[in-house]
Amino acid sequence: MSSCVSSQRHHCSSVRRLPAPTSRAGWHASHFRRRVVSLRATRAEAPSSVPPPPVGGGKAAAAVQAEIVEAAAVWCAAHGLVVGDRENPRSGTVPGVGLVHAPFSLLPTRFPASFWKQACELAPIFNELVDRVSLDGEFLQGSLSRTKQVDDFTARLLEIHAKMMAVNKKEDIRLGLHRSDYMLDSETNSLLQIELNTISTSFPGLGSLVSKLHRTLLNQYREVLGLDSERIPPNHATAQFAEALGKAWAEYNNDSAVVMMVVQPEERNMYDQFWLINHLKESHGVTTIRKSLAQVEAEGQVLADGTLVVDGRPVAVVYFRAGYAPNDYPSEVEWSARVLIEQSSAIKCPSISYHLVGTKKIQQELAKPSVLERFLDNKEDIAKLRKSFAGLWSLDNEEIVKSAIEKPDLFVLKPQREGGGNNVYGHDLRETLIRLQNEQGEALAAYILMQRIFPRASPTHLVQGGVCFEDLTISELGIFGAYLRNKDKVIINDQSGYLMRTKVSSSNEGGVAAGFAVLDSILLTDE
């Protein structure tokens, strides 16, 4: 899951969270200090958003905007671009109850075609890198050895990994469904990686739908908008993720086995998951069951031959859409389930080693000189990866820590966490670094410092709960990647669609599920 790097050039004292999805027609004024605006938007210098062009003034413009917003909301309801309504307590547990449209941008965001091509070309290289690093258990254990002393969650993951190493557990069939997140940095005019997600890469389903929504709106209002829908790149993330899961299931070679999706007990983003489940069934004939970690522990067992059986069904593939954060392990029951899964012969997406590759500390280690060469041979591929790396440092670097204390707005302090809402910025960053230095302990190892990325902000129309409002926003592009390997045979190594998220520029975080951002798509430009 993503923890988006903020792009606000000046520090905000508090995170500005977008209003939570709601079924009501509007929100209390205190939820946002904005007003619904006409289609006549003021363009910032070199904007990345696509505000609707003027179609007349005043009431005429507002009427056209209202029509587009209504058409978009109807499309969402008719095509399943929905999430659970937080106002309804049953919306995270009972399918079909308490639905609202997912938050979305009214129109796609402009994105230079050259950077789009660069991001897509990086996907298979990162896929291969994850696989190579996952096989080096000593590197993973050594790189995270200090972190585990001060981070209980990472320590538990490493403990499971060490157990698998001790019994020489081999994962002959390895499946990765990844997402690498990027922002365009206006300071350097370059595409820089925020993070690489190797577990619970969400929104292949709804992300694909937003691209279709925007293409539909651009075609339906072509005369008004004057935008070419063909410049929205195809987004087949749902189909490609389902294909990877289906082929992994086939490699397991047990026709009676199922795919098991590990989910959180309450999941308002379940419809993103159901899009994938339905596609897997309809296109590949594969059945999926959804289970929480607690249910796995209660209903699961590993047979003598290594087969994982849950609720009486053999499991071919375990696809984690939970298990990435401490909150997913409220008791020893959940940890027991994770160990049970790792001990089995089921294909894990991700395995414990793939999971660890996605930690912030490993990202920082891979950015060190000569480390990529340990895992990759192709010099061109290595150069392409390094070109996308933002500055990444451990807190052992006293010079960088000093710089971060003096100029905290140029850095982001990141713990080993996924899911949004965990990073430290500005004044809080300075205070945290000073405190950690004064403690003189191992706590420094729980964090990394990252260069702060500054994309251009531009006015964008955002829609939540049927209400459209304008704000200055920045966007983050996530490129999905699918990787499937059986021993020495690489079966799939592809870029597999994308996820565009847009958020108000005053927010330090960027997760859609966490309530900070909206779903978006891209409109390729020649800029």
Looking up tokens 């082929």 gives 247
Question: Active-site residues: which are they?
Answer: 179, 195, 197, 202, 360, 414, 418-419, 501
> 């390997």: which residue's tokens?
485
Confidence band of 511 (pLDDT split at 50, 70, 90): low
Give residue 49's Cα distance to chain centre: 21
- Residues shown for the chain: 527
Mean pLDDT of 94-110: 96
Q: Using CB atoms within 10 Å of the CB of residue 414, give its burial: 0 to 12 exposed, 13 to 18 middle, 19+ buried.
A: buried
Please say if the pLDDT value at position 174 is more than 50.
yes
Q: What is the rounded (10 degree) CA torsion for 427, 430, 432, 434?
A: -140
Give tens-digit pLDDT for 271-326.
999 999 999 999 999 999 999 999 999 999 999 999 999 999 999 999 999 999 99
Lowest-pLDDT range of 343-352, 456-465, 475-484: 456-465
Rounded Cα gap, residues 351 and 163, in angstroms: 13
Whether the per-residue pLDDT at 10 is higher than 50: the answer is no
CA distance 56 to 122: 43
Token pair of 73, please? 């909301």
**pLDDT tens digits, residue range 347-401?**
999 999 999 999 989 999 999 999 999 999 999 999 999 999 999 998 888 899 9
User: Is residue 164 over pLDDT 90?
Assistant: yes
Integer distance in angstroms from the first to the last C-alpha of the chain? 30
- Global pTM value: 0.87
Region of 37 (left: φ > 0; alpha: ψ -120 to 50; beta: rest) is beta
Question: Of the ranges 207-221, 377-391, 436-450, 495-509, which one carries the lowest mean pLDDT score?
Answer: 436-450
Does pLDDT of 246 surpass 90?
yes
Q: How confident is the model at residue 57 (pLDDT cuts 50, 70, 90)?
A: low
Angle at 12 (CA atoms; ends 473, 104), nearest 5 degrees: 25
* pLDDT, the chain, mean: 87
Question: DSSP state, 496?
Answer: E
Nearest to 202 by CA among 511, 521, 527, 475: 511
- Rounded Cα distance between 497 and 522, Å, is 12
Contact 322, 263 (CB under 8 A): yes
Mean pLDDT of 501-512: 74
pLDDT score at 9: 29
What pLDDT score was predicted for residue 135?
98
DSSP letters, 434-451, are HHHHHHTSGGGGGEEEEE
Residue 414 β-bridge partners: 448
Q: Tokens for 453?
A: 């990325």
Any residues with CB less than 8 A from the CB of 216 and at least 6 apart, and which? 75
CA torsion sign for 394, 398, 403, 405 is positive
Indicate whether 521 pLDDT > 80: yes
